[in-house]
Structure 1
Amino acid sequence: MIRVQSALYALCISFFMICLDTTIVNVAIPEIRASLGASLNDVVWVNSAYALCYAVPLILAGRLGDMYGPKRIFLIGLAGFTLASLACALAPSASVLIASRAVQGMAAALIAPQTMSLIVQLFPFERRGGALGVWSAVGGAAMAAGPVIGGLLVAWTSWRSIFLINAPLGAIGWMAAARLVPDWRPVKPHRLDLLGIALSGIGLTALVFGVQSGEAYDWGTVAGPVTIPATLVFGVLCLTVFVWWQHCGTRAPLLPLRLFRNRNFSAAATAGGAMGTAMGGLFLPLMIYLQGELDYSPPAVGAATVPLFAVSSLSARWAGKRSDTTSPRMLAAIGFALLVTGIGALAFSLNPGMSLWALMPSLLVSGIGIGLVSAPLAGIATRTLEPSQVGAASGVFNTTRQLGGAIGSAATGVLLQAHIGSSSTTATRAALAFTAAALLAGLVGCSVVRSTPTAAQTG
């Protein structure tokens, strides 16, 4: 029992680090832009490159865990993430920073599905919700720490130190996981679907690039015959062929479509994508608005977001435990409703003369909502699946969430650039309205989840 808990905490160290990097960068965006002479589109891509390269390989990463063992892939990803973080810290230009963030995202993709898969294998059904609650709480704590740590590091040193901090975290996490996490190996051989990998990677990259960079190219020509509309159509076609190939063209599908016959998994994946879209689109415009329009310092802005993520972490831990004995669908639905309410109130309250204290009620409500959604959704996604499906399901579930984050970040960039020349308050409100709309889609997804047996009912 003690060893299982120790293994959970070892996994959480690395999960903390990759979640930290989703928020620690936002508070440094203005300084990165000034230091590297970057455009708004460049700094949006600092986030989007990470989110995109995190999302695209997740299904493949889940399959690699099934093929070679989740612990082995986890350790490779953690080493790669640490080295990519050092490359980010030393980046001499925006293009090098974006490329390094892309590598960092790919390494994070190797880590995330393995943590979820290993937790499901470590803990029996009746204790899995609590373990996933700890996992989600760690993510919330990392997001809470990100703006504060980032703000302090930017104020005391420079933006480069926000990436250097990953070196000790990565080393500690690697040694802890190598010693404490069991090394499960596959019981049967798996094959890689190389055509599926190519189709999904090219399709997703083209789709998000088109959304992200459309405004920068005035929705016209990128280079030569390549245009934004053509890129978007090409991305959709690649993904359509990918789905067809997974359905009837390969004996070793990268994306097992049979997973979507499970109603709860499909609902959780849809809601997870909506949640990712909302979170990807929330923090960039808020950070830019608070530092640009209201002229607050990076440490002050970081401190303002601490209550949101601290409350999120606490409510995630509570929701994880409760989801073992009550309806996870109800918890997630309440969470989505609170998020829509909090972000809607935040959008209406924005004005050029407001104080940070005026944000607190909306941020606290939103934080509770984030926590109530996170742990129950992960449980819903895996709760009624066979053990042999968990690895693939972890990759697919994390893909929908991270792809949503990439789309959300890209769409927010489009909205901000589209409102250049108008007030920043109008632009930020438009971005927050987009976020609230995505969350409504998540609430609809929760409504179709079927009730599943709880620990009390099965025990």
Structure 2
Amino acid sequence: MHREPLSPSARWALTSLALSMLMPSLDTSIANAGLPTLAAAFDATFQQVQWIVLAYLLAVTTLIVSVGRLGDGFGRRRLLLIGIGIFTAASLVCALAPSLGWLIGARAVQGLGAAIMFALTVALVADAVPKSRAGSAMGLLATMSATGTTLGPSLGGLLMAHVGWQSIFVINVPLGLLNAWLVYRYLPKDRIVRSGVAFDYPGTAVLMLTLAAYALAMTVEGLTPTLLLLSLLGVGLFILVEKRSKAPLIHLSLFTDTRISCSLALTLLVTTVMMTTLVVGPFYLSRGLGLTSTQVGLVLSIGPLLAAFSGVPAGRLVDRFGARRMVPGALLGLVCGCGLLALFPVSFGVLAYVLPITVVALSYALFQAANNTGLMSGVAQDQRGVVSAMLGLSRNLGLITGAAAMGAVFALATNDPTQAPAAVIAGGLHMTFGVATALMFAAFALGAFTHLRLGSPVPERTVQSR
């Protein structure tokens, strides 16, 4: 495929989207390393300061689809500017928060801004760069996402140690102002959108409550069965509401498109498995292999750094060979990487962890670039916001599910990973990644069927409202 060169304005437009992905990704994890510091600053318990992280994640998870749909009618560039403004202003309020309650509330508002940025950044790629460069652009956004999430804990810890906890939020203010200017100056103006477009308030409310119930079920102990039941009932109610709505939040006919359904399912499965490395890795490296905390940190950084730096090259592969070929290949790489982690004995040492993680990280970068490009290439202009948002939602739900479900598998295999001996920890790693391998094999089978049997994406089409 001929690669059309990027004009200077397109490069700056892509830079604005890269910043729009980096900032909310950074704040997903920047507060994690400083929770003990924040607990001391506000004289709070660990359970209380955890809500500094949970408030942000819950806001993003529950709002991302709604704001994506709103962008399709209101104008994606215009709403992205509003989202950047909300995120930046809320960051300043976080830094000035006089109490823990204020900080948690400001983090929830910051999550609203982040939801807008996450939802619309991928959708705006088609407006910012030529179609022949879409894979590279998606690879860059994947790099920014991985870089932000990876850099967050170390940058947060450094700023807290040398400047103060307020600095982890103040840093967003100059970045946000620069980002807003770049978006305003270089992103193409929104196409003419219909005025007075109806918004599905009942569907939005039901979906938000359903997602909140599920996210809380995965993060709050003691209420999991009840909240899971409520979330299942919420899914059924949401379908009924959408079928009766004249302007549904999500056109259910989107899910009849095999490619869209498959891409979202694959994102959920892959991110669930990727979370396994963050859940199991620290225990295996410290208690299983006896590494120091510094060594654990260095080894754990290898995978995310590889995923970050390989995003753009992966995107170029997608531009050259097409998403249809690259998605099954990436999933096969994930099967192999997880399988090696499940099989390599602990006696092989740290190399037996690093080599499979390298395969997993490189395959994940290729999957993100290929899957996102393939998904968005066949979506109609007026549906890109909501489909992009559903992609972000699948990723978030995968991370939440992975932390809970795969963490439960590891805990079951080790009884108590904080006290278990090295041999038991190694056995827990093998069992957990055995489950991960099975999930990735299922994903590979699904991806191969969809991308190889169905061929190239269909031309853009508009889903008709009823």
> Structure 2-normalised TM-score?
0.81
Aligned twin of 1:452: 456
Query: Equivalent residue of 1:324, what SS?
Result: helix
Mapped pair 1:266 → 2:261:
yes
Instruction: Work out whether residues 13 and 186 of structure 2, in 8 Å CA contact, stay in contact via their aligned partners in 1.
Output: yes
Mapped pair 1:119 → 2:125:
yes
Query: Equivalent residue of 1:130, what SS?
Result: helix
Distance verdict in 2 for CA 1:410–1:192, change over 3 Å? farther
Write the distance in 2 (CA, Å) between the matches of 1:320 and 1:186. Answer: 31
Instruction: Work out whether residues 274 and 441 of structure 1, in 8 Å CA contact, stay in contact via their aligned partners in 2.
Output: no
Distance verdict in 2 for CA 1:92–1:302, change over 3 Å? farther
Distance verdict in 2 for CA 1:121–1:445, change over 3 Å? farther
Mapped pair 1:396 → 2:390:
yes
Instruction: Work out whether residues 334 and 363 of structure 2, in 8 Å CA contact, stay in contact via their aligned partners in 1.
Output: yes
Query: Equivalent residue of 2:122, what SS?
Result: helix
Q: Which amino acid aligns with 1:326?
A: F
Aligned twin of 2:20: 14
Match for 2:357 among 363, 367, 382? 363
Write the distance in 2 (CA, Å) between the matches of 1:44 and 1:362. Answer: 32
Mapped pair 1:153 → 2:159:
yes
- The one-character-per-residue Cα deviations of 1:131-183 (angstroms, maximum 9, x if unpaired) are 22222222233344334423433554555543333233222212222222222
Root mean square deviation, CA, Å: 3.6
Q: Which amino acid aligns with 2:216?
A: F
Aligned twin of 1:443: 444
Q: Which amino acid aligns with 2:270?
A: M
Distance verdict in 2 for CA 1:361–1:416, change over 3 Å? closer
Aligned twin of 1:223: none
Mapped pair 1:195 → 2:237:
no
Instruction: Work out whether residues 75 and 178 of structure 1, in 8 Å CA contact, stay in contact via their aligned partners in 2.
Output: yes
Write the distance in 2 (CA, Å) between the matches of 1:151 and 1:355. Answer: 29
Write the distance in 2 (CA, Å) between the matches of 1:98 and 1:446. Answer: 40
Aligned twin of 2:230: 234
Write the distance in 2 (CA, Å) between the matches of 1:146 and 1:291. Answer: 21
Instruction: Work out whether residues 341 and 352 of structure 2, in 8 Å CA contact, stay in contact via their aligned partners in 1.
Output: no
Q: Which amino acid aligns with 1:71?
A: R
User: How far did 1:124 drift?
Assistant: 3.4
Instruction: Work out whether residues 68 and 119 of structure 2, in 8 Å CA contact, stay in contact via their aligned partners in 1.
Output: yes
Q: Which runs of 5+ in 1 are unaligned?
A: 220-227, 455-459
**Larger RCO: Structure 1 or Structure 2 (Cα < 8 Å, ≥ 6 residues apart)?**
1
Mapped pair 1:132 → 2:126:
no
- The one-character-per-residue Cα deviations of 1:267-307 (angstroms, maximum 9, x if unpaired) are 1111112233234454255457767996845x765543443
Q: Which amino acid aligns with 1:451?
A: G
Write the distance in 2 (CA, Å) between the matches of 1:399 and 1:165. Answer: 26
Match for 1:82 among 79, 88, 104? 88
Instruction: Work out whether residues 139 and 369 of structure 2, in 8 Å CA contact, stay in contact via their aligned partners in 1.
Output: yes
Q: Which amino acid aligns with 1:384?
A: G
Write the distance in 1 (CA, Å) between the matches of 2:416 and 2:214. Answer: 28
User: How far did 1:13 drift?
Assistant: 1.1
Instruction: Work out whether residues 336 and 373 of structure 1, in 8 Å CA contact, stay in contact via their aligned partners in 2.
Output: yes
Instruction: Work out whether residues 123 and 376 of structure 2, in 8 Å CA contact, stay in contact via their aligned partners in 1.
Output: no
Instruction: Work out whether residues 144 and 308 of structure 1, in 8 Å CA contact, stay in contact via their aligned partners in 2.
Output: no
Q: Percent identity?
A: 29
Instruction: Work out whether residues 16 and 183 of structure 2, in 8 Å CA contact, stay in contact via their aligned partners in 1.
Output: yes
Query: Equivalent residue of 1:184, what SS?
Result: coil
Aligned twin of 2:464: none
Aligned twin of 2:463: none
Distance verdict in 2 for CA 1:165–1:348, change over 3 Å? farther
Distance verdict in 2 for CA 1:53–1:40, change over 3 Å? same
Distance verdict in 2 for CA 1:56–1:308, change over 3 Å? same
Distance verdict in 2 for CA 1:318–1:401, change over 3 Å? same
Task: Decide which moves more: 442-451 or 102-111.
Answer: 442-451
Aligned twin of 1:321: 316
Instruction: Work out whether residues 411 and 417 of structure 2, in 8 Å CA contact, stay in contact via their aligned partners in 1.
Output: no
Mapped pair 1:309 → 2:296:
no
Write the distance in 1 (CA, Å) between the matches of 2:432 and 2:85. Answer: 35
Write the distance in 1 (CA, Å) between the matches of 2:349 and 2:98. Answer: 36
Write the distance in 2 (CA, Å) between the matches of 1:209 and 1:387. Answer: 34
Query: Equivalent residue of 2:118, what SS?
Result: helix
User: How far did 1:376 drift?
Assistant: 0.7
Task: Decide which moves more: 141-150 or 88-97.
Answer: 88-97
Instruction: Work out whether residues 336 and 369 of structure 1, in 8 Å CA contact, stay in contact via their aligned partners in 2.
Output: yes
Match for 1:107 among 96, 113, 126? 113
